[in-house]
Amino acid sequence: MMRPRRGTLAARDVTQAAPVSRPVLDLSGRPEATSTEGKNAHLSWAARSDVGSVREHNEDSYLVDPPLFAVCDGMGGHAAGEVASSIAIRTLAEEAPKEADAQALGEAVEAANAAVIAGPARGEGREGMGCTCTTCVISNDRMAVAHVGDSRLYLLHKGMLVRVTHDHSLVEELVDAGEITADEARTHPNRSWVTRALGSDPDMYADRFDVEVEAGERIILCSDGLSSMIEDAEIEDIAVSTASPSVCVDALVTAAIVAGGHDNVTCVVIDIVSDGVEEAAHSNAKRTALFLTLGGIILLAAVVITSVLLIGSFWYLSCSGGRVAVYQGIEGDLMGLPLSNLNYVSEIELDDLPEALQHQLVEGIPVSSQQDALSTLDSYRVQLAAEQAEADETASAVGDTPTTTPTGEPITTPDATTAAPVTTDEPAATSEPIAGPMAKGAPPQGSPVTSVPTGSSTSGSSNLNSGTPEDPSSSSDDLDAPDAPDPSSDAPAPTPATPTTDTFILPVPEPFALPEPSAGGE
């Protein structure tokens, strides 16, 4: 079947229909007349059953239990046909599927057949009773159909009426064989003879099939009290020109009654408001968003778990604040989450290390464990200490090198705070410099004065008394002032002895010029 354009019944199809003046009947007050209507998110429906203008009682039954709908036309006369149709409706309500499943729906119709056959044995109805059955289950864009007898199901698609079911009747077989036309079948004297119905054959088989439907389409189920009274063209015209199922069903029943109403008239009209495609798309979008959210949560959890595992399994050396540091994890991040954390910052300055090693530390140096990292830091410390000791030794050697004169001779400068120890018999409190003539060959002025032990003299010196050795038995009190040196003697001037038992530090005198001894002496 060609697929129609999606949408509601086109306004064009309704407004362009030729206005038809139809009689209006008050159907609510008619005997044995029943009706119902309703709607939900997907469907809108209405149903009506009328006894007609000829029959005394109504043997038809209908079922409106969305998404299940059905029409049954009873046969067998009073207290038989209506019982058979009611048994069939009751069984369908119990056995029919809740979704569009043609196979299951056909089996439900066959179960209704068995129930009708078994009815008389249970005290329900009479032998020979039976009924037709046309039913459907609508789920979104699918419709399951099951059918037995000459009741019909029509589908109004884009303003065009299509008969979906095939009558199980004698006149239909004659039409199929080409012996009569469809219009002749409506008035044929044997038009009420059915070749298949519920209640006659335990092995009866129900036709079953699926049909695609969409929003905007209209479905009509009816007994032969409608289809045998008015032509399909009029049914189509009424279906197209009515806006709601309730208006449509009343117009169809009225038309059948006005046309003669020779049989009971039952009609169910269902409009497909939504075929579930939009809802399914919205639901899929929500489901996709949910899956993406859950997927994101799962991925984030996996990242966190992976990060924890990586942080706990790997170590590396890098830098932090210009110092060498130990990190646990791996260098870098994943989706903005760091894959490492700082474990320890050492005192080792990055600038103290070789430049090549600095670059390696900036990039990160992997190590096998925390202990390995600490051991590496210890090796850095040892190397830096060795380098520092070598630098200190080099600096000390440079500081001990003497300065030289322009001629290249080293110059030694006496320490101003160091004084030479000497011996003297003067009071220890004096610190005046010793003045007087110095013998030839005496140390240069400004040279350090060495201490002389008590009772001894420097090399080449003589006793202060006439140049003879000092008498050990003599006392220092017997010593007179020293004699003047003999000008005619070539011997060096004697160095006065300064016997004492104490030594002290004399300040080094400033350099001065000594007077030359006179020829005659004093």
Give pLDDT, residue 20.
56
Q: What is the predicted pLDDT for the residue at 292?
A: 86
Note the pLDDT tens digit of each residue in 346-396.
Answer: 999 989 999 989 999 998 899 988 899 899 999 999 999 998 888 888 888
Per-residue pLDDT at 492: 54
**CB within 8 Å of 297: residues ≥ 6 apart:** none
pLDDT for 95 equals 97
Residues 6 or more apart from 209 whose CB is under 8 A from it?
Answer: 102, 144, 145
Q: Which of 93, 102, 100, 88 is nearest to 197 (CA)?
A: 88
Looking at residue 410, its pLDDT comes to 56
Look at residue 473 in the predicted model and tell me its pLDDT: 44
β-sheet bridge partners, residue 319? 324
- Per-residue pLDDT, 515: 54
Average pLDDT over every residue of 197-206: 95
What does the mean pLDDT of the chain come to? 79
According to the model, what pLDDT value does residue 271 have?
98
Cα–Cα dist 83/198, whole Å: 12
- For residue 197, pLDDT over 70 is answered with yes
User: What span, in angstroms and rounded, lies between the C-alpha atoms of 104 and 136?
Assistant: 11
Over residues 257-279, mean pLDDT: 91
Q: Sorting pLDDT into bands at 50, 70 and 90, what band is 500?
A: very low
Choose the weakest-confidence range: 26-35, 107-116, 202-211, 218-227.
Answer: 26-35
Q: Could you tell me which residue, 63 or 390, shows the higher pLDDT?
A: 63
Ranked by mean pLDDT, which of 177-191, 233-247, 366-380, 410-424 comes out on top?
Answer: 233-247
Strand partners, 329: 340
- pLDDT at position 104 is 98
- Taking residue 378's Cβ as centre, other Cβ atoms within 10 Å add up to 11
Q: Per mean pLDDT, which range of 282-296, 297-311, 334-348, 457-471 is the poorest?
A: 457-471
Overall average pLDDT of the 148-159 stretch: 96
- Which of 78, 76, 110 has its CA nearest to residue 92? 110
- Cα maximum dimension of the chain: 196
Indicate whether 477 pLDDT > 50.
no
As a whole number of angstroms, the distance between CA 110 and CA 89 comes to: 12
Q: Is the pLDDT of residue 306 over 80?
A: no
Q: Summarize the confidence of residues 39-59 as an average pLDDT.
A: 95
Q: Is the pLDDT of residue 447 over 50?
A: no
Assess whether pLDDT exceeds 50 at residue 441.
Answer: no
- The whole-number pLDDT of residue 497 equals 52
Mean pLDDT for 110-131 is 95
What confidence score (pLDDT) does residue 458 get?
40
Domain covering 11-16+25-275, topology:
Phosphatase 2c; domain 1 (3.60.40)
Q: For 497, phi and psi rounded to 5 degrees?
A: -85, 145
Q: With H, G, I as helix, E, B as strand and everything else as coil, classify residue 29.
A: helix
Per-residue model confidence (pLDDT) at position 521: 45
Note the pLDDT tens digit of each residue in 319-332: 999 999 999 887 77
Task: Tell me the C-alpha to C-alpha distance, in Å, between residue 447 and each of 166, 443, 444, 507, 512.
Answer: 148, 6, 6, 11, 12
> What is the percent of the chain with per-residue pLDDT over 90, rounded to a whole number?
49
Per the model's pLDDT, the better-predicted residue between 307 and 186 turns out to be 186
Query: Is 428 a residue whose pLDDT tops 50?
Result: no
Listed in order, strand segments (DSSP E) in 18-119 are 34-39, 43-50, 60-65, 68-75
468 or 214, greater pLDDT:
214
Locate the domains of the chain by residue range.
Answer: 11-16+25-275, 300-396
Using the predicted structure, report yes or no on whether residue 242 has a pLDDT greater than 80: yes
pLDDT at 234 over 80: yes
- Residue type present at position 435: A
pLDDT value of position 330:
79
pLDDT above 70: percentage of residues in the chain: 70
Please say whether the beta carbons of 135 and 105 come within 8 A: yes
d(CA 278, CA 394) in angstroms, rounded, equals 89
User: What pLDDT shows up at residue 152?
Assistant: 97
Best mean pLDDT range from 35-44, 191-200, 289-298, 346-355: 35-44
Q: How far apart are CA 211 and CA 100, in angstroms?
A: 9
Specify the range with the lowest mean pLDDT, choosing from 84-93, 160-169, 431-440. Answer: 431-440
